[in-house]
């Protein structure tokens, strides 16, 4: 492998639809009290949701344009476009194909990745390997996009209070300086039926009966995931990635975790014996945006001055599947937007 072919993030961007739903709005719609649990335990105060005329590709397009502008890269210079989502624009064709056409990334190949809420770290892992392994790939646009509000039952307190819409994007370019340092993916398919939108595919096509029932065609928690999945799984996979680059948890300047539960992040940071000040969270203002939450948090951290050149950053995500992934990267400043 050519040691000079490193993958570095040179631009970030994020986007949320304009419509805001507060916890008070949700409580009124549900007809039940949701506080203080949602704001204090989950850490969510409000969330953005798509309007009737907005979809996953719209969110992805906006975030992508912001990341391209931040990197100072024209769409025609992108060699590969990867969209991570489990709320696709269509069953077929791929959401990435729709975004490809809108952006005009004319020389790029494209495909979707569905690894649930671990989608972005999985896509970043793939992008870095393309760049390192094949000299035809100089610039990859990696997008995480999520429009789960389209699949929510707003009578279901367990899901309606958590999930939201948004997109985050990163431009990943070849560099002679280290960027993405190491990564690891993990899965446990025994938990595949625990959470999801189960109707609409080949196993359970949409029928009149499915629509009347209204259960399997909406997002559902069917089986509760053991809390150890994240509370023990996140530190384990992060430590494993760090060990491969000879680094320690104390070396990490910023930790980004799946933005689903603030109390879980606090537990994990305590288990790592790292102060919460080294974690960055965005669920308070944006809710839980699944595959988009990590690139959105990264963009927010960059634009609010949380990152400095050379900082060691850890991104760890997990979600339905069960799928989990973790990436260690060295932050490189200097793109046009910073």
Residue 239 neighbours by CB under 8 Å, 6+ apart: 249
| Burial of residue 151, with CB atoms counted within 10 A of its CB: 0-12 exposed, 13-18 middle, 19 or more buried | middle
Cα 196 to Cα 55, 151, 306, distances in angstroms: 19, 10, 34
Cβ atoms of residues 151 and 197 within 8 Å: yes
**Cα 41 to Cα 36: distance, rounded to the nearest angstrom:** 8
Q: What is the pLDDT, as a whole number, of residue 333?
A: 80
Q: How far apart are CA 273 and CA 17, in angstroms?
A: 36
Checking if the pLDDT of 182 tops 60, the result is: yes
> The whole model's pTM is what?
0.95
Do 6-177 and 182-190+223-330 agree at the fold level? Answer: yes
CATH for 182-190+223-330 is 3.40.47.10
Q: Over the stretch 290-320, which tens digit does the pLDDT of each residue have?
A: 999 999 999 999 999 999 999 999 999 999 9
Q: What is the pLDDT of residue 336?
A: 37
User: Tens digits of per-residue pLDDT, 215-251?
Assistant: 999 999 988 888 889 999 999 999 999 999 999 999 9
Picking from 182, 121, 171, 22, the residue whose alpha carbon sits closest to that of residue 319 is 121
Q: Give the domain ranges of the chain.
A: 6-177, 182-190+223-330
pLDDT of residue 109: 98
Three-state SS across 275-293? Answer: CHHHECCCHHHHCECHHHH
pLDDT digits (tens, 9 = 90+) for 51-106: 999 999 999 999 999 999 999 999 999 999 999 999 999 999 999 999 999 999 99
The pLDDT tens digits for 120-135 are 999 999 999 999 999 9
Which residues share a beta bridge with 142? 82, 170
- Topology adopted by domain 6-177: Peroxisomal Thiolase; Chain A, domain 1 (3.40.47)
């Amino acid at each position: 492998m050519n040691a000079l072919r490193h993958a570095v993030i040179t631009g970030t961007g994020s986007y949320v639809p304009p419509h805001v739903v507060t916890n008070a709005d949700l409580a009124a719609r549900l007809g039940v009290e949701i506080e203080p649990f949602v704001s204090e335990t989950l850490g969510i105060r409000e969330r953005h949701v798509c309007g009737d005329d907005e979809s996953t590709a719209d969110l992805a397009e906006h975030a992508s344009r912001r990341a391209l502008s931040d990197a100072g890269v024209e769409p025609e210079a992108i060699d590969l476009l990867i969209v991570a989502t489990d709320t696709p624009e269509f069953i077929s064709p791929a959401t990435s194909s729709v975004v490809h056409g809108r952006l005009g990334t004319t020389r790029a190949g494209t495909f979707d990745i569905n690894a649930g809420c671990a989608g972005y770290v999985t896509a970043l892992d793939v992008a870095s390997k393309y760049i390192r392994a094949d000299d035809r790939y100089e610039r990859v646009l990696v997008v995480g996009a999520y429009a789960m509000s389209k699949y929510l039952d707003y009578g279901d307190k367990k899901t309606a209070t958590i999930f939201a819409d948004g997109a985050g994007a990163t431009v990943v370019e070849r560099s002679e300086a280290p960027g993405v340092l190491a990564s690891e993916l993990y899965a446990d398919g025994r938990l595949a039926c625990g959470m999801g939108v189960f109707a609409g595919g080949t196993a359970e096509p949409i029928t009149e009966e499915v629509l009347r029932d209204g259960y399997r065609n909406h997002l559902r928690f069917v089986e509760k995931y053991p809390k150890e999945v994240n509370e023990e799984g996140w530190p384990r996979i992060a430590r494993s990635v760090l060990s491969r680059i000879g680094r320690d948890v104390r070396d990490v300047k910023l930790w980004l975790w799946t933005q689903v539960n603030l109390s879980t992040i606090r537990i994990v940071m305590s288990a790592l014996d790292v102060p919460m000040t080294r974690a960055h969270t965005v669920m308070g203002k944006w809710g839980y945006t699944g595959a988009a939450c990590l690139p959105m948090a990264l963009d927010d951290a960059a634009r609010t001055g949380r990152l400095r050149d050379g900082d060691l950053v850890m991104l760890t995500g997990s979600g339905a599947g069960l799928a989990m992934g973790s990436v260690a990267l060295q932050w490189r400043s200097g793109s046009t937007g910073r």
